[in-house]
Amino acid sequence: MKSWATALLSGGLFGAGLAISEMTNPARVIGFLDITGEWDPTLAFVMGAALVVSFLSVQLAGRDGSAAAQPPASGIDASLLCGAALFGVGWGLAGLCPGPALAALISGSTDVILFVGAMVVGMAGFEIAQRYRRPPTHAA
């Protein structure tokens, strides 16, 4: 149960950080992506500060031999880049990505609920397509 408490606190810190930095506000995210308009560089500061702390914790975890601190063995492939590109289009259209959208559910906004619902539908579609392509293999 200790790992559950850690996960709750971790999600809480994450959600608080997204709210304080207003990454939960789509206009702020779109303002960052709008490099030719009235550019709002706030997101770069959010990501930069988060990366500094994240990088330090990866160093600490690596010293303890944590497997999660290691980069994945596989390289860049077409599905990674296609997926990231599709995500980029959706992110640019709505100004919302999964973390801020879930955190912003607290506002009760029907727009956010709609976005999250559609996101889950998209994930479900992918899941179904995966199972159709590759029937689940049962561990022997």
Partner 1 sequence: MTDFAPALGTLGGLLIGCGAGLLLLRNGRIAGISGILAQTLWPSAGEERGWRIMFLIGLPLGAAVVTVFRGPLTLEIHSDPLWLASAGILVGVGTRLGNGCTSGHGVCGIARKSPRSLGATATFLSVGAITVFVTRHLLGLGQ
Residues 62-121 that bind partner 1 (CB under 8 A): 64, 66-72, 74-76, 79-99, 101-107, 109, 111-112, 114-121
Minimum distance of partner 1 from residue 87's CB (angstroms): 3
Minimum distance of partner 1 from residue 90's CB (angstroms): 3
Instruction: Compute the Cα dihedral for 106, 110, 113, 115 and give only its sign.
Output: negative
Minimum distance of partner 1 from residue 132's CB (angstroms): 14
Binding-site size for partner 1 (CB under 8 A) equals: 114
Task: Name which of 76 and 132 has its Cβ closer to partner 1.
Answer: 76
Distance of CA 32 to the CA centre of its chain: 16
Q: At CA 68, angle to CA 66 and CA 69, rounded to 5?
A: 70
Residues 35-64 that bind partner 1 (CB under 8 A): 35-38, 40-58, 60-61, 64
Distance of CA 45 to the CA centre of its chain: 17
Under the binding rule (CB under 8 A), the answer on residue 140 touching partner 1 is: no
